[in-house]
């Protein structure tokens, strides 16, 4: 009888062990990884509030080492191609804002140690606005912006 | 069919990764033209790309990324033939992942 109980106990502990490993190795990612997704930053209605939620500070320097490639005039605001390139060393994060959108933060890119200061994507813009790229390197924030004129908005309505 | 198209190409030690994901990316602000009701938000929140055990890119997205999102970035330290993996999770908890060999 006692040996039976021990067997069940062993089985049980093995099963929980496997789940523990799955969680720690990231097989069950959604709950764990989404902790990094900042709801406050994405829901913020102005750039500075969003920056504070994202980086804990909105103080930043303009930098000419950040290049934003985006069209001067976007005919369709639903698809605006944006490419950010930076030559700043030690970049850990690049975030993109469209400052006239209802929620300006469009995306935050967290770069790995071997990843270069370059991202390219397509964003939606409600109306003519500045596309602002904020680059975090070390503890400092750098930014650059470019105006994109939008003829048809892409945020519903 | 996978929702992800993933390509990685290495030139001079730099691997260029290009990703296309098919996803509606609804902001939650848009109205259905027939019923006048708002279409609920449905967008990818997080995209993670890994080379071996190193995360080379984590993208946190809001609803303002275009429908059928495109993402491209570069990283160093990989070799041709290495595998990279990419996965996404959206605000409804739906997810998908894909792998590709670096060519």
Question: pLDDT tens digits for A89-142?
Answer: 889 999 999 988 888 899 999 998 889 999 999 999 988 999 999 999 888 899
Question: How sure is the predictor about A83, in pLDDT bands with cuts at 50, 70 and 90?
Answer: very high
Residues A143/A61, Cβ–Cβ less than 8 Å = yes
Residue B95 has pLDDT above 70, yes or no: yes
How many Å lie between the alpha carbon of A101 and the closest alpha carbon of chain B? 8
- Tell me which residue in A109, A112, A121 faces B70 most closely, judged by beta carbons: A121
For the segment B30-68, what is each residue's pLDDT rounded down to a tens digit? 777 778 788 888 989 999 999 988 899 999 998 889 999
For A141, the token pair is 């924030």
Q: What is the DSSP letter of A128?
A: S
Residue B5 has pLDDT above 80, yes or no: yes
CB contact under 8 A, A116 and B14: yes
Q: At B97, is the secondary structure helix, strand, or coil?
A: strand
A100 interfaces chain B, CB cutoff of 8 Å: no
Contacts of residue A30 in chain B, CB cutoff 8 Å? 89, 93, 95
Span B74-93, mean pLDDT?
91
- Tell me which residue in A42, A78, A115 faces B73 most closely, judged by beta carbons: A115
What percent of chain B lies above the pLDDT cut of 90? 58
pLDDT value, residue A89: 87
Residues A67/B53, Cβ–Cβ less than 8 Å = no
For the segment A63-76, what is each residue's pLDDT rounded down to a tens digit? 888 999 999 998 88
Name the phi and psi angles at B102, rounded to 5.
Answer: -80, 130
pTM of the predicted protein model: 0.79
Least confident of A26-35, A101-110, B56-65, B81-90: A26-35
ipTM of the complex: 0.89
What percent of chain A lies above the pLDDT cut of 70? 75
pLDDT value, residue A25: 47
Contacts of residue B27 in chain A, CB cutoff 8 Å? 124, 155-156
Name the phi and psi angles at A42, rounded to 5.
Answer: -75, -25
Span B67-71, mean pLDDT?
93
Give me the torsion for CA of B19, B20, B21, B25, rounded to 10°: 110
């Amino acid at each position: 009888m006692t040996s039976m109980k021990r067997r069940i106990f062993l089985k049980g502990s093995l099963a929980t062990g496997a789940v523990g490993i799955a969680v720690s190795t990231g097989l069950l990612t959604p709950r764990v990884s989404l902790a990094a997704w900042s709801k406050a930053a994405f829901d913020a209605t102005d750039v500075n509030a969003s920056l504070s939620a994202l980086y804990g500070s909105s103080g930043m320097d303009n930098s000419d080492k950040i290049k934003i490639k985006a069209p001067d005039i976007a005919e369709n605001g639903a698809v605006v191609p944006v490419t950010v390139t930076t030559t700043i060393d030690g970049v850990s994060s690049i975030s993109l804002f469209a400052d006239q959108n209802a929620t300006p933060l469009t995306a935050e890119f967290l770069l790995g140690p071997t990843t270069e200061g370059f991202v390219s994507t397509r964003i939606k813009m409600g109306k003519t606005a500045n596309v602002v790229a904020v680059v975090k390197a070390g503890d400092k924030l750098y930014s650059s912006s470019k105006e994109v004129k939008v003829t048809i908005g892409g945020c519903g309505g | 069919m996978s929702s992800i198209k993933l390509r990685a190409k290495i030139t001079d030690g730099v691997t260029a990764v290009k990703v296309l994901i098919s996803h509606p990316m609804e902001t939650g602000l848009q109205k259905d033209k027939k019923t006048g009701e708002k279409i609920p938000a449905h967008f990818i929140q997080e995209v993670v790309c890994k080379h071996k055990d190193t995360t080379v890119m984590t993208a946190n997205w809001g609803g303002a990324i275009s429908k059928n999102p495109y993402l491209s970035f570069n990283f160093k330290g990989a070799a041709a033939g290495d595998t990279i993996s990419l996965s996404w999770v959206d605000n409804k908890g739906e997810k998908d992942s894909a792998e590709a060999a670096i060519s």
